[in-house]
Structure 1
Amino acid sequence: MAEKRRGSWGEGELYDALCLLMIGACCWIIGAQFHAFGTLNHFILAHGLSDQLMLGFFMGLAMIVVSLRKSLKLRLAMRERDATAARAEAVARHDALTGLANRRLFLEAVELSRRATGAEPSSAVLLVDLDRFKPVNDLYGHAAGNAVLCTVAERLDGLLPARGVAARIGGDEFAMLVPLEGGSEALARLAQAVIGSIAAPVLWNGNALRVGATVGIALITGEDVDAEVVLHAADLAMYQGKKDGRGTYRVFKSAMDVELKARAQLESELRAAILNGEIEPFYQPVVSLPEQTLIGVEVLARWRHPTRGLLAPARFISIAEETGLIADLSYRLLRQACIDARDWPAHLQIALNISPQQFQDTWLSERILAILTETGLAPNRLEVEITETALVQDLEAARATLTSLQNLGVRIALDDFGTGYSSLYHLRELKFDKLKIDRSYIDTISMSEERAKLVDAIIKLSASLGLVTTAEGIETNASVDWLATQGCDFGQGYLFGAPMPKSEIDTLVSIDPEVAKSCLAA
């Protein structure tokens, strides 16, 4: 305990002062013993103050040293404190991974620009959101994702004009504050340069990682309420770019805000509709060619909206995919379709399209099997349709899922064949049961000889691989005759019937096949 007290005392300022006073006293004693003060002693002795004055001199000198030392320590401590505060402030205002400004610093910069701007805009915000970034993280890990983020940050910083600010404002979202020099054309060139730069591959551990970018632009004016409003406007413009196909840029317009609010309302209503069973399966007939006898149906979603009426999938499926509601929606549709199909003739199949997001679920086959088991529908009566979009993210995962489904007895169809960029590759690598020729080819076979040749080539390719083909979007008897002559196996389209509710399809499947054939032909 005594040692602890001595340690505490030794660290105090009083201890330092006493030490220096003792040193001063020792200096005086040594000087007096060795007669080091010389002439000064003779002068002072005449006044009789030599010992007292010299002692006081050395004690005063010691106190001056104490004061100087304390002042120096305080100054050093203040400098260290200021440096630490500056480092902490820099950390608090910059992104730790990329070194760019963070959201807080960026908003401060935007606010300063807004306050310095009049009615005419003098600067703009570019909100940059990465496309296809999640697959990079999923396939290669977070280290690869971080490498992409750092590279994107470097490229944005390299494109940044003088007096501009680049920031990472969260996740895979970046932003740039740039002066509006050169007008809208210069701003458009910058946005295109950003998109082109980010699209260049990022080399990482021998892999070429590819992402894209969609850019939203908002001009800053003094009429904006604050920086958050400017950033929100850029976000709305970016969302419009995503909606228009990604890899592009859009400039904010006030109509976008109205549209986003309407979309948010529809999204809220969609969540409730799925829970309340307002979205139901409709069934479009699929027939054999050339006989035109019913062999199955494709399951299509229809939303019986309480105020907007019957809504087609184009109005809500994309929202379901973007919000993660698509899986719940699809499984509910499948369950109801399986229940409906139990009362139909056993040879009739049901076909359901599975979204790319669902196809990334490693438990997809188990979930489908659970629904088949629950409803009692034989697996060989189900056909799952997938598009090439579901395959490009992870081919090996796709192969495993397809094999698992086929092992259950479920058939697999490649939907919208001819619209993807790697169809032949996927046909070679994966085992399908059917090809569905996209309606865009069928619509024009009677008007374009080149299109007709392409459809003929697809049918022959499918036959050579042992696959059957279904032509979508058939609307004329001339198309039926031509497709049948070329060897197409099945067809669907408005010529054979529009998507219909359960009550109508029940009537169709319950009548005599020849009568049903006449109904379809009519």
Structure 2
Amino acid sequence: MADKRKASWGSGELYDLLCLMMLGTCVWLLGVQLGAFRSLDRLIIEHNLADLFKLGFFMGLGAVAASASKSLRLRRAMRERDAAEARAAETARHDPLTGLANRRLFAERLDERRAGGSGGRLSVFVVDLDRFKPVNELYGYEAGNAVLRAVGERLVRTLPAESTVARLDGDEFAALVESGPGGEGLARLAQGLIAALSAPVTWLGHEIKVGATVGIAAAGPEAGSAQAVLHAADLAMGQGKRDGRGTYRVFESAMDEALKARARLEADLRVAIDAGQIEPYYQPVVALPGQTVTGFEVLARWRHPEHGLLMPSAFIPVAEETGMIGDLSYLILRRACLDARAWPNHLQLAVNIAPQQFQDSELALRILAILTETGFQAHRLEVEITETAIVQDLEATRATLGALQALGVRVALDDFGTGYSSLYHLRELRFDKLKIDRSYVDSIAEDHERAKLVDAIIKLGNSLGLVTTAEGIETKTSVDWLASQGCDFGQGYLFGKPMPRAEIDRRLNEGLLDTGPVAPKRDAVSKPVLIEKIEKAA
């Protein structure tokens, strides 16, 4: 392109010069034919002005040469400017790291292909890498850049030659693909991409493995603007992420509706937390084998103004993903402490703390502030954490556990057997209780293998000095078996479903809950000493 432009400019300069020479020649011929130069000739001869006219001629010739030189320089500067603008325009449409098209050029190509009336079926693939963030954290950004470049090369190599491949942002790529009728070809292509991107990338002797999730959307004229098509493919990719990653999904209109519903739920949840629409429910925890009530697990319920009473599964994941889980948990804890102040002093409350909260170095101080505000005694509170919180950051979890136990708060490992904890974690972290997940408990009567696992967990807890609680108990047979194996506590629908405060108050007042004897308390510690212990533990 630059050579053609240069030849074009050169031809233009030569043409202009020839035109000027022809114009001068025509003027001279016209003057000769009309005899216009005779008087001039006599004047020159009579006054001996030949030398003067020669001087003028050469001065004019020099002026013409100077003008031509200036014109050439000006035209060269214009060519360089145009070339720089072309390079800038090219750069503005490409990703500097991978050399692929960027979002702007991708949208232009999509509009061009649709306007050109492509004979095949146009589709947009959005490819998002899985497990890419740890690459930068473990190996550094140079390794991350190497992976991104390798991904770009593999996309170009795997996709059909006429495809447009772009890097949209970060670790997200896109491809404009033309295929035949039907979705079989797209499915094979998506699977091929996932397989190609799952192969390890070698960098400085390290084999770095990432994966990919793919979203696909039709890109025909009826699909709307280029941005609308990219949005649809991105929604499909997001659905693939939620379904387990390393897979592909094709956009369906229901995905858009689900996203809008999710956005509405998120907005409603923010309002609900501020307005106090989420309230604690209480499920009894009983001692085995006597089945006296020793306390309650606190469970959240959302009294939605339109949808009625919502279970935690409908909104807790949203709260965790949006960062609202902290405010929600502290709201539930504060209300539960206020509710339980009027209950017998030996009844305990067990509350769930999200893994994200355990990364907060001030978690224990926040809980202490709520206990101080409500007047609820620390030894009556039990905090439950899942195994996910342990593996996220062992040292942060250790510090937070120590700070909570310095308050006198008990700590239970929830849903034991479903996550990633090990004997090492149980040895390193000083838990007070193991809670056996309901998925083991509800099948012990029919599944002997599950029964063996539950028995092993109970014996493990006993050997480590930990009390055990079995969740999800629904039959008397399960109660008898668990008690015979040495399980300390149980909870489940057999002993009572989660109930609001008013129902708990009624049952306590009417003597319908056997609360048994008063449990021993831990030694009380003054607030200044507590804060000092928390700071040392953290």
- For Structure 1 versus Structure 2, the TM-score category normalised by the shorter chain is 0.7 to 0.9
Aligned-partner SS, 1:391: helix
Quick check: 2:281–2:299 contact (8 Å CA) kept in 1? yes
**Equivalent residues of 2:293, 2:514 under 8 A apart:** no
Deviation, 1:209, is 6.7
Alignment match, 2:162? 163
1:95 aligns with 95
Q: How many residues align?
A: 472
| Shift of residue 75, structure 1, vs aligned partner | 2.5
Change in 2 beyond 3 A, CA 1:516/1:347? closer
Give 2:459's aligned amino acid: K
Once the 2 structures are TM-superposed, how far is the Cα of residue 153 of structure 1 from its aligned partner? 4.3
Cα drift, residue 60 of structure 1? 3.5
Contact 1:444 1:451 in 2 (8 A): yes
Secondary structure of the corresponding residue to residue 246 of structure 1: coil
1:281 and 1:299 in contact (8 A); partners too: yes
Give 1:87's aligned amino acid.
R
Deviates more, 1:142-151 or 1:310-319: 142-151
Greater shift after overlay, 48-57 or 371-380?
A: 48-57
Contact 2:391 2:420 in 1 (8 A): no
Farther off after superposition, 122-131 or 498-507: 122-131
User: C-alpha distance in 2, partners of 1:142/1:295?
Assistant: 53
Asked whether the equivalents of residues 117 and 220 of structure 1 are also in contact (C-alpha less than 8 Å), the reply is: no
Contact 1:114 1:227 in 2 (8 A): no
- Matched residue SS, 1:499: coil
- Alignment correspondent of 2:439: 440
Alpha-carbon spacing, 1:462–1:218, altered in 2? closer, same or farther (3 Å): same
Q: Alpha-carbon deviations, 1:183-229, whole Å to 9, x = none?
A: 53342233334445555666789988765543221121221221122
Q: Deviations over 1:84-105 (max 9, x none)?
A: 2123223322334554332222
User: What corresponds to 1:320 in structure 2?
Assistant: 319
Q: Secondary structure at the match of 1:493?
A: coil
Residue in structure 2 matched with residue 420 of structure 1 by the alignment: 419
Alpha-carbon shift at residue 497 of structure 1 (Å): 0.7
- Check if 1:488 corresponds to 2:487: yes
Three-state SS of the structure 1 residue aligned to 2:302 is: strand
* Matched letter for residue 64 of structure 1: V
1:19 maps to what in 2?
A: none
Partners in 1 of 2:170 and 2:427 — Cα distance? 37
Q: TM-score, normalised by structure 2?
A: 0.79
What do the CA deviations read for 1:255-307 (whole angstroms, capped 9, x no partner)?
22222222222222222222111110001111111121111211111111222
Match of 2:188 in 1: 189
Aligned to 1:268: 267
CA distance in 2, matches of 1:458, 1:97: 52
Task: Go from structure 1 to structure 2 and tell me whether the alpha carbon gap of 1:390 and 1:320 turns closer, same or farther (over 3 Å shift).
Answer: same
Match of 1:69 in 2: 69
Deviations 1:290-345 (A, max 9, x none): 12111121111111122222111111212222222222111101110111122222
Structure 2 spans left out of the alignment, 5+ residues: 1-43, 517-538
Shift of 1:479: 0.8
Counterpart Cα distance in 2 of 1:245 and 1:510: 48
Q: Which amino acid aligns with 2:311?
A: A
Gaps of 5+ in 1: 1-43, 518-522
- Offset at 1:135? 6.3
Residue 241 of structure 1 contacts residue 250 of structure 1 at CA under 8 Å; is this kept in 2? yes
| Secondary structure class of the residue paired with 1:233 | helix
1:137 shift after superposition: 6.4
Aligned to 2:86: 86
Q: Which moved more, 1:477-486 or 1:90-99?
A: 90-99
Q: Deviation of residue 372 (structure 1)?
A: 1.7
Partner in structure 1 of residue 469 of structure 2: 470
Q: CA RMSD in A?
A: 3.1
Matched residue type, 1:268: A
Change (3 A) 1:91 1:440: same
Q: Which runs of structure 2 are paired with 1:349-498 in the superposition (5 Å)?
A: 349-498=348-497
Give the deviation of 1:417 after TM superposition. 1.5
SS in 2 for 1:358: helix
Distance 1:136 1:347, change over 3 A: farther
Is the Cα–Cα contact under 8 Å of residues 121 and 219 in structure 1 kept in the other structure?
no
* Structure 1 CA distance for aligned equivalents of residues 298 and 502 of structure 2: 14
1:384–1:411 contact (8 Å) kept in structure 2: yes
State whether residues 417 and 438 of structure 1, in contact with CA within 8 Å, keep that contact through their aligned partners in structure 2: yes
Contact 1:164 1:179 in 2 (8 A): yes
Question: What whole-Å deviation, never above 9, does each CA across 1:8-57 have from its counterpart, x for those lacking one?
Answer: xxxxxxxxxxxxxxxxxxxxxxxxxxxxxxxxxxxx99996652354344
In the TM superposition, what is the alpha-carbon distance from 1:428 to its structure 2 partner? 4.1
Specify whether residues 81 and 500 from structure 1 end up closer, same or farther in structure 2 by C-alpha distance, changes over 3 A only: same
**Matched residue, 1:329:** 328
> How far off is 1:158 after superposition?
4.6
> Once the 2 structures are TM-superposed, how far is the Cα of residue 68 of structure 1 from its aligned partner?
3.0
> In the superposition, relative to structure 1, how do residues 75 and 405 fare at CA in structure 2: closer, same or farther (>3 Å)?
farther
Question: 1:459 aligns to what SS in structure 2?
Answer: helix
Q: 1:511: how far off?
A: 5.5
- Is the 2:347–2:515 Cα contact (8 Å) retained in structure 1? no
CA contact (8 A) 1:345 1:509 kept: no
1:6-155 matches, within 5 Å, as 51-117=51-117, 122-131=121-130, 149=148, 152-155=151-154
Looking at structure 2, the residues matched to 142 and 396 of structure 1 have their Cα atoms a distance apart, in angstroms, of 25
- 2:307 is matched with which residue? 308
TM-score (norm 1): 0.81
Amino acid at match of 1:355: A
Tell me what 1:247 maps to.
246
Of residues 221-230 and 257-266 in structure 1, the stretch that sits farther from structure 2 once superposed is 257-266
Could you tell me the percent identity over the aligned residues? 67
1:178 alignment partner, SS class: strand
Q: Which position in structure 1 is the counterpart of 2:3?
A: none
